[in-house]
Amino acid sequence: MKRMKKILSASRGILIWYAGLVVCCFGLCYLLAGPYDLINRCDGQLSFFTTAKCDSGIRPIVVRMNAETLDPRVESLMPPLSFTPDVGFHLMGTDILGRDVFAGILYGGQRSLIIGFVAGALAMVLGWIMGITSVYVQWQRWRFPYSWVGVVVLVSFAFASRMYVFLFFALGWIIFNILTRRTTKNQISTTSAWWWGRWIEWYQALPDLLLLLVLSSAIGQLKISGMVIIIMAVVWPSMALLARRIASEVSRQPFFTQAVRNRVSGYTLWRHYLWGNTSSAFWALLPLVVARIILLESTISFLGMGLPPDVVTIGSMISSARYHLSSWWLIVFSCIFIFILVYPLMKLGTELNRRI
Amino acid sequence: MWRRIIYRLALIVPITFSILFITLFLFYTLPGVHVLDSRELQVGSERELILTLRLQEQQNPFAYNRGLFYIGIYAGYLPLRRDHIPLMFHASFHSLCKDIRNPHVMNDYAEWVREQLGDFTSSSGSGLSAHQFVQILKAQNRMEFLAVMQTLDPEVVPPVWKRVVKAPVADDISLLNISWNGKHNIFHSYLNAIFFGDPALHTSSGELVQTKFGRTVWWTLAYTLPALLGGWLIVYVFMLLNYDRPGRLQRINRLTLVVYSVPTFVLATLALVFLTSHRYGVISSLFPFPVFVENRVQGLFDIYRYYGAHLILPMLLFALSPMLLLFRIFHEKMEEVRRVRPSFRYLRHLGLPDRTFRLRYLSRYLLVAGLAVLSNIIIALLGGSLVIEWIFNIPGLGRYLYQSIINYDVPSTVFLVVVFTIVQQVGHILTDLLIDLFSPSSSKTEGLL
């Protein structure tokens, strides 16, 4: 961890720069653009972030619109640096529906960052847990009672379906379990580890595109949480395979073999030996995964399979540029922003990987 | 080695079957919400609604079967013939069944829906309009069902509707049901259709799936084949020529990071707007605006003859990503050779000519590194890039798969997924075989590099 801190301090510039970007998207955007008055004075009372129309109010600094605001006063496809009275400056122009591109980039960027960080963190955690566990089960002394769980499921199923003939199967299974019970304890078996590995590989063989498209069609109207789940479902297997590879390298080291011989507890093996020796790779990969997910999310939105069409994202803005070839501002600013969003993460991840 | 290959070839069968099942499961069982917005079916002429219903029939050609798989486990309130209902109305039918809670009556209702759908598709007519039929399919509970029924003349109302409305809640409903469907299930029918062509699969437009595949595959190969082969060769030769210039390679490596940070769809859209639109000066007239007419061509030669110039830009954009990937792989290998293998310096100190070192040792080492991504390249060759085909309107395989999924064209999607899975698995095996064949460690030169 000390080494990690040292490496992170070397990449301080990128981190500070990115923190600024996050603050801009999550905090400043409400001051810069929004369909409200920041401070308003109605009937002698001060109110904040209100849409009520009063005489004396302080408007957002740039434009009185958010990403989805449709204002009849604003014309469609206005070029950058245009001005609409009572609404504000359109720093980056407007789209075909008259929505402000600058506000779209700020709020769309906010959504991309939320999806990227949440889905990235969840996919990494899930993939890492699965990957490490798939190696750990080889040395696990306590065996998960798969057979007994099977019996419980069978009995529950018999009662749920009112097909009591399954109780005979359950009985047979119990007798089989008792008769084939192993007498030696604490033996090491590679069977579980093999099955874990094959299961992860099989999952990864599922076509990504199919999973993405069918899941998003199946879930229907997507919210940010739905998007996070779909992306996580696609990304975690590759993380699990990577964690498995690193963890199996660790497990071949002499110190690990000695720890197994010394009968170190399962928790310590998992937590201190496997996680402890793979955590630096985890932190180094995290920025790369977040960057990959931001790109993935924008691609899905571009294809029209992401968030609903009325929700503005970077991908949906670029998609609309295809139909309005003369409006260069629809694509150029989105493109620059996506680069600003992704490049520092790529740089940070590569730097961390190189040093680790 | 051969035993291992036979084992892996045999594994293709369960992998393909399981992926086929998962695909069908995703389409048939997963949607618990309104998949296609059937509420939007309010408007439209009678003729349009009949066409939509016919499309539903084509999307689900094996709906007359009893279930999805040989064995089925489903909620107790659902009837055995639940798959007779068109995919579009699965969600409303499930809600209705949950409210009625009488699977026997709902089973009869599902059979009636199937017959009625058959009447619409064969244009035989049965006294019920398509509007009325759609309205009843959209009913999600007993009250909605009754409301639709009351709008009709009592003499026209089918007897099964009255039974649905009056059906008492069945006492013998279990939480779960299990059924043995035998060979008459959707999975088995698709297996027969894909591997034995019995019955033939049709797209939602009525065309044979194999014919459509045969047509679109040429479009994809037309731009992927030159892009991938050319890109691979360029990077390979470039690395061999520049292996002793680490500074230059490092600079290019940094540049690849910049290009990687911009997704392909952004690059492609930028190229479309600024290189083909003829609206931003000379630079925007560099390439012709992409317009592809599918019916005009018969094969690969025709595609190049009529659209060769139009395909250059998609080719360049498509080649970019694999070239960057190959460059990074080759660069990493080169660094590894330089850092880890002492024989690299040893060979040079022995006075081995530069040319011999490049062509005899280094080339082989890089070739193996390049072969490691061969299976990905084979998949890319066939699948193409969905984004490129989408932006440039190329009627290729990627676009075909995308539209199949979007339109719930199950036969096309299932066929393409099975083909891609087999190709991917064969690609993996081929990759390992070639690596074994070309790997320096498996030949006399073992240990030299």
Per the model's pLDDT, the better-predicted residue between A139 and A254 turns out to be A254
> Are B420 and A207 a contacting pair at CB < 8 A?
yes
pLDDT at position B444, please?
41
Question: How many whole angstroms separate alpha carbon B50 and alpha carbon B109?
Answer: 20
Where is A231: in which H helix or E strand?
Answer: helix A224-251
Nearest residue in chain A measured CA to CA from B409: A214
> Are B406 and A213 a contacting pair at CB < 8 A?
yes
Per-residue pLDDT averaged across B347-374, rounded? 78
Contact indicator for B66, B80 with CB cutoff of 8 Å: yes
Q: How far is B312 from chain A (nearest CA, A)?
A: 19
The residue whose two tokens read 């060759």 is B381
Q: Which of A55-59, A293-297, A343-347 has the lowest mean pLDDT?
A: A55-59
Per the model's pLDDT, the better-predicted residue between B121 and B361 turns out to be B361
Residues of A in contact with B178 (CB under 8 A): 157, 161, 163
Q: What is the pLDDT of residues B145-154, one digit of tens each?
A: 999 888 888 8
Band of the pLDDT at B206, cuts 50, 70, 90?
A: confident
Question: How many whole angstroms separate alpha carbon B16 and alpha carbon B422?
Answer: 7
The pLDDT of residue A189 is above 60: no
Question: How many whole angstroms separate alpha carbon B114 and alpha carbon B204?
Answer: 18
Q: How far is A144 from chain B (nearest CA, A)?
A: 26
pLDDT at position B33, please?
46
> Pairing between strand A56-58 and A82-84?
unpaired
Q: What is the pLDDT of residues B271-289, one digit of tens each?
A: 998 998 888 888 888 898 8
Per the model's pLDDT, the better-predicted residue between B15 and A215 turns out to be B15
Contact indicator for B408, A213 with CB cutoff of 8 Å: no
The pLDDT of residue A185 is above 70: no
Residues 160-189 of A with CB under 8 A from B: 160-163
pLDDT at position B73, please?
86
> Are B19 and A207 a contacting pair at CB < 8 A?
yes
Highest mean pLDDT among A195-199, A248-252, B19-23, B218-222: B218-222
> Pairing between strand B176-180 and A56-58?
unpaired
Residues in chain B, overall count: 449
A238 at the B interface (CB within 8 A)? no
The pLDDT of residue A182 is above 80: no
* Count of CB atoms situated within 10 Å of the CB of A304: 14
Residue A92, exposed/middle/buried by CB under 10 A (0-12, 13-18, 19+)?
buried
pLDDT at position A56, please?
65
A158 at the B interface (CB within 8 A)? no
Q: Which of A37-51, A261-275, B31-45, B237-251 has the lowest mean pLDDT?
A: B31-45
- What contacts B302, CB < 8 A, 6 or more positions away? B296
pLDDT at position A190, please?
59
DSSP sequence for B339-381: HT-THHHHHHHTT--HHHIIIIIIHHHHHHHHHTTHHHHHHHH
Q: How far is B432 from chain A (nearest CA, A)?
A: 16
Structure-token pair, residue A306 = 């992401």
CA torsion sign for B221, B226, B231, B237 is: positive
The pLDDT of residue A11 is above 50: yes
Question: What number of CA atoms fall less than 13 Å from residue A220's CA on the CB side?
Answer: 11
CA torsion sign for A208, A210, A213, A216 is: negative
Band of the pLDDT at B44, cuts 50, 70, 90?
A: low
Contact indicator for B409, B403 with CB cutoff of 8 Å: yes
Q: Which of A63-77, B95-109, B423-437 has the lowest mean pLDDT?
A: B423-437
- What contacts B288, CB < 8 A, 6 or more positions away? B276, B309, B310
The residue whose two tokens read 């065996």 is A143
- Please, what is the end-to-end C-alpha distance for chain A in angstroms? 11
Residues 384-443 of B with CB under 8 A from A: 386-387, 390-391, 401-402, 405-406, 408, 413, 417, 420-421, 424-425
Distances (CA, A) of B9 to B2, B39, B112, B229, B377: 10, 47, 45, 26, 20
Question: How many whole angstroms separate alpha carbon B111 and alpha carbon B83?
Answer: 10
Question: How many whole angstroms separate alpha carbon A53 and alpha carbon A50?
Answer: 8
Residue A53, exposed/middle/buried by CB under 10 A (0-12, 13-18, 19+)?
exposed
Residues of A in contact with B264 (CB under 8 A): 299
Contact indicator for B23, B414 with CB cutoff of 8 Å: yes
Q: Using alpha carbons, select from B223, B196, B183, B190 the residue that is nearest to residue B413.
A: B190
φ, ψ of residue A200 to 5 degrees: the values are: -65, -40
SS3 of residue A84 by DSSP: strand
Contact indicator for B440, B352 with CB cutoff of 8 Å: no
Per the model's pLDDT, the better-predicted residue between A127 and A54 turns out to be A127
Residues of B in contact with A205 (CB under 8 A): 15, 19, 421, 424-425
Question: How many whole angstroms separate alpha carbon B149 and alpha carbon B388?
Answer: 49
Question: Which of A202, A299, A318 is closest, CB to CB, to B15?
Answer: A202
pLDDT at position B446, please?
40
Residue B411, exposed/middle/buried by CB under 10 A (0-12, 13-18, 19+)?
buried
Contact indicator for B371, B429 with CB cutoff of 8 Å: no
Q: Which of A191-200, A212-221, B427-436 has the lowest mean pLDDT?
A: A212-221
The pLDDT of residue A186 is above 90: no
Question: How many whole angstroms separate alpha carbon B132 and alpha carbon B145?
Answer: 11
A153 at the B interface (CB within 8 A)? no
Question: How many whole angstroms separate alpha carbon A170 and alpha carbon A174?
Answer: 6
Q: Using alpha carbons, select from B167, B164, B175, B122 the residue that is nearest to residue B139.
A: B164
Question: How many whole angstroms separate alpha carbon B279 and alpha carbon B273?
Answer: 8
The pLDDT of residue B415 is above 90: yes
> Are A213 and B405 a contacting pair at CB < 8 A?
yes
Return the DSSP state at A94: B
Highest mean pLDDT among A213-217, B264-268, B343-347, B379-383: B264-268
Nearest residue in chain B measured CA to CA from A347: B257
Question: How many whole angstroms separate alpha carbon A223 and alpha carbon A311?
Answer: 10
Residues of A in contact with B73 (CB under 8 A): 161
Residues of B in contact with A339 (CB under 8 A): 261-262
Q: A279-291 burial string, b = 16+ CB within 10 Å, else e?
A: ebbbbbbbbbbbb
* Count of CB atoms situated within 10 Å of the CB of B211: 12
Residues 353-392 of B with CB under 8 A from A: 386-387, 390-391
SS3 of residue B178 by DSSP: strand
β-strand partners of B202: B208
Contact indicator for A210, B23 with CB cutoff of 8 Å: yes
Question: How many whole angstroms separate alpha carbon B325 and alpha carbon B236?
Answer: 12
Question: How many whole angstroms separate alpha carbon B330 and alpha carbon B405?
Answer: 36
> Are A214 and B30 a contacting pair at CB < 8 A?
yes
Q: Using alpha carbons, select from B398, B355, B45, B1 the residue that is nearest to residue A209.
A: B398
Q: Which of A19-28, A52-61, B180-189, B420-429 has the lowest mean pLDDT?
A: A52-61
Q: What is the pLDDT of residues B296-325, one digit of tens each?
A: 788 888 999 999 999 999 999 999 988 988
Question: How many whole angstroms separate alpha carbon A63 and alpha carbon A92?
Answer: 11
pLDDT at position B35, please?
44
Residues of A in contact with B266 (CB under 8 A): 298, 318, 331, 334-335, 338
The angle subtended at Cα A44 by Cα A39 and Cα A46, nearest 5°, is 25
Contact indicator for A217, B406 with CB cutoff of 8 Å: yes
Return the DSSP state at B200: P
Per the model's pLDDT, the better-predicted residue between A267 and A304 turns out to be A267
Residues of B in contact with A155 (CB under 8 A): none
The pLDDT of residue A317 is above 50: yes
Q: How far is A97 from chain B (nearest CA, A)?
A: 20
Q: Predicted ipTM? A: 0.80
Question: How many whole angstroms separate alpha carbon A177 and alpha carbon A197?
Answer: 25
Contact indicator for A220, B38 with CB cutoff of 8 Å: no
> Are B280 and A328 a contacting pair at CB < 8 A?
yes
The pLDDT of residue B439 is above 70: no
Residues in chain A, overall count: 356
Band of the pLDDT at A124, cuts 50, 70, 90?
A: very high
β-strand partners of B208: B202
A336 at the B interface (CB within 8 A)? no
Residues of B in contact with A347 (CB under 8 A): 257
DSSP sequence for B93-157: HHHHHHHH--HHHHHHHHHHHHHHHHHHHTT---S--HHHHHHHHT--SHHHHHHHHHTS-TTTS
Number of Cβ pairs < 8 A linking chain A and chain B: 124
Per the model's pLDDT, the better-predicted residue between B222 and A138 turns out to be B222
Q: What is the pLDDT of residues A320-340, one digit of tens each?
A: 888 888 888 988 999 999 998
The angle subtended at Cα B413 by Cα B411 and Cα B416, nearest 5°, is 105
Considering chain A, what is the average pLDDT of its residues? 83
> Are A325 and B279 a contacting pair at CB < 8 A?
yes
> Pairing between strand A37-42 and A45-50?
antiparallel
The pLDDT of residue B234 is above 90: yes
